[in-house]
Chain A
Amino acid sequence: MAKFDEAPIIKDPPINGILRPPDIREDASVGVKCWPSKPKDTRAIDLPTERLPDWQARGVAKLGELLERNKALRVFLDICVRCGACADKCQFYLGTGDPRNMPVARAELLRAVYRRYYTPLGRRMPQAANAADFDEEMLALWYTYFYQCSECRRCSVFCPYGIDTAEITIAAREIMAEIGVSTKYVTEVVAKVYDTGNNLGIPPAAWKDNCEFLEEDVLEQTGVPIKFPVDMQGAEVLLVPPSADNFANTETMIGYAKLFHVLGISWTTSTYCNEGGNFGLFLNFANMKKVNNRILTAARMLGVKTIIWGECGHAWRAGIFTPSLSGPMDEFDPPYPYHISQFTVDMLRRGALNGKIDKNANDQYLVTYHDPCNAARAGQLVEEPREIIRACCNRFVEMPADTIREKTFCCGAGNGLLTDEIMPIRMAGGKPRAMAVKHTGANFLATVCAICKAQLPESMHYWGVPVEVGGVAQLLGNALKL
């Protein structure tokens, strides 16, 4: 029995793995909201500890600032013709039928406010411009529905005007953060990064203990002394994994370690920055920048030559902007952000793994691959994970074409939604992916994102899809000859 309200979730079955557009259900998910942030967390990350008394004026002013800073935002707000091509492309609309989860309707919550304060007609005749005040009622809708969007950009792929609707959600969340309206989940995680170096809040001693434990465990299993170095000065590679890899997704962590071992490359993690993940991306620009800055600082502290990002979607989405956010990477090789999947493919193509992979080791699995929204649509990682899977697995099957690659569905909990109080939204949004996985009959669902790896087991279980979820590095690790 589910321990949450299942009313927002549409249970109709798919046809050939694809969900049909649902009947409209007004306000189906209006009651599903994230817990609000706590002063202890917002204080730690330079945000107001409560809603500001002059929040309306401040919010409108912040919108004006964003319009100046981000010209694309103004274009995205201006050019939508309400064609509706995006409407049935969002997993949260498909899963709930709530019309405000149609991307065009969600964006309208910001567009109506934009017209009210920043267009000539809206300023003089709000009704004629279909404009709306930024008032209490509107703010409540923003808080609900901009946190029922995972900024996954699937809608953008189908927009004939190329509007990036995620930018609209990002702007709305930025404005809310400015006026003291944010969620507990996101702010708590950012605060933990400044306190401990990672999203989970793992202190340095525990991180080292985890790594020592994995060394012992892998030695016991394989008889090979595989290292999980921490704060190793002068290592060749700094790996910035999602901290979840050294907590819950340990098979992925072991996969990285086996790969470096087989290649004979010295590597390390850093207790100053043992997190690639960037929850600032889900909140505001200032925190995204501050979290990102830690990566280059850690790399310089340890004197490494190469920085490699681990299997984390938001880490990579923010990570590819590292030179813009944190300055040039010229001293590193390569002098730009480098993902573990890219690195692995480079090694495969260079022949560095020739004769070192036993594909039969994964024969118990029929593998399918879930493209994380951030990897596929914001990070240009589409072919690399597939190339690795094909190199280390004999049995690989794709989900239906409209549900993968740049058209992938979000896992249902990306970009700030992986929190239990909005479980109805997570399970509703997870439905299209679950149905597509079910259609393949696969028993292993590989992916390169820690949020996906946390959400998918829950959504697969909820939708009755018996499949193991794990990393691409995990599959490679299984097949590497040590």
Chain B
Amino acid sequence: MPFIKIDGLEIEVDEDGFIQEPDKWSPEVAAALAKSEDVPELTEAHWKVVNYLRDYYQQFGIAPMIRKLCKDTGFPLKEIYELFPSGPAKGACKIAGLPKPTGCV
């Protein structure tokens, strides 16, 4: 398994770069992951999405429905893609430290 190093902390990631140890997530980790997702800087808008994803994940153990993410954060899907170029399931979930949603998506 590959690892990423952030501030001396080693975190295991999967082949797609999603962290495997959710409790090691921190805002610094998010910033480091953001760079691998073509997000040079995490703005307030990014944090709104990331925090929403983390809250939802902590409550339900899965990423939220995309429609719900858009409605609850107030960002239409197009804007989510502008914030996270590889999309809500890949880019945003990765930065928020969630597992990669897989299946027919």
Query: Which residues of A are at the interface with B, using a C-beta cutoff of 8 A?
Result: 3, 35, 184-185, 188-189, 192, 198-203, 205-206, 209-210, 213-214, 217, 242-244, 246-248, 250, 277, 312, 418-421, 450-451, 453-454
**A205–B64 Cα gap in the complex (Å)?**
12
Shortest Cβ-Cβ A-B pairs, 4 listed = A199-B103, A450-B104, A206-B60, A200-B103
Asked if residues A421 and B16 are in contact (CB atoms below 8 Å), the reply is yes
Known: A184-B15, A217-B67. A189 touches B103 (CB 8 A): yes
Contact (Cβ within 8 A) B62 A201: yes
From residue 56 to 105 of chain B, which have CB atoms closer than 8 A to chain A? 60-62, 64-68, 71, 86, 89-90, 101-105
CB distance from B103 to the nearest CB of A (A): 4
On whether A203 and B62 interact (CB within 8 A), knowing A188-B102, A421-B16, the answer reads yes
Distance A429 CA – B104 CA, assembled complex (angstroms): 17
Taking a contact as CB atoms under 8 Å apart, the answer to whether B102 and A185 are in contact is yes
Verify B16–A217 contact, CB threshold 8 A: no
Query: Whole-angstrom distance between the alpha carbons of A3 and B102 in the complex?
Result: 19
Question: Measured between alpha carbons, how far is A243 from B101 in the docked complex, in Å?
Answer: 12
**Contact code string B34-52 (vs A, CB < 8 Å = 1, else 0):** 0000000000000000000
| Complex interface: chain A residues within 8 A of B61 (CB) | 203, 206
CB within 8 Å for A419 and B102 given contacts A213-B68, A246-B65: yes
Contacts of B103 in A (CB 8 A): 189, 192, 198-201, 243-244, 247, 277
Contact residues in B for A213 (Cβ distance below 8 Å) = 65, 67-68, 71
**Minimal Cβ-Cβ distance residue in B for A458:** B87
Find the B residue at minimum CB distance from A312.
Answer: B104
What separation, in Å, do the CA atoms of A181 and B81 have in the docked complex? Answer: 36
With A199-B104, A210-B65, A244-B103 given, can you name 13 additional A-B contacts, CB distance below 8 Å? A3-B86, A188-B102, A189-B102, A198-B103, A206-B62, A242-B104, A243-B103, A244-B104, A250-B67, A277-B103, A450-B105, A454-B104, A454-B105
Residues from chain A with Cβ under 8 Å of B102 in the complex: 185, 188-189, 192, 199-200, 419
C-alpha spacing A201/B98, complex, angstroms: 13
Contact of A250 among B65, B90, B104 (CB under 8 A): B65
Q: Which residues of B contact A184 (CB under 8 A)?
A: 15
Pick from B16, B67, B90, B105: contact of A200, CB below 8 A.
Answer: B105
Decide: A421 and B15 in contact? CB cutoff 8 A: yes
Min CB distance B29 to A, Å, is 21
User: Hey, which chain A residues are within 8 Å of B68, CB to CB?
Assistant: 210, 213
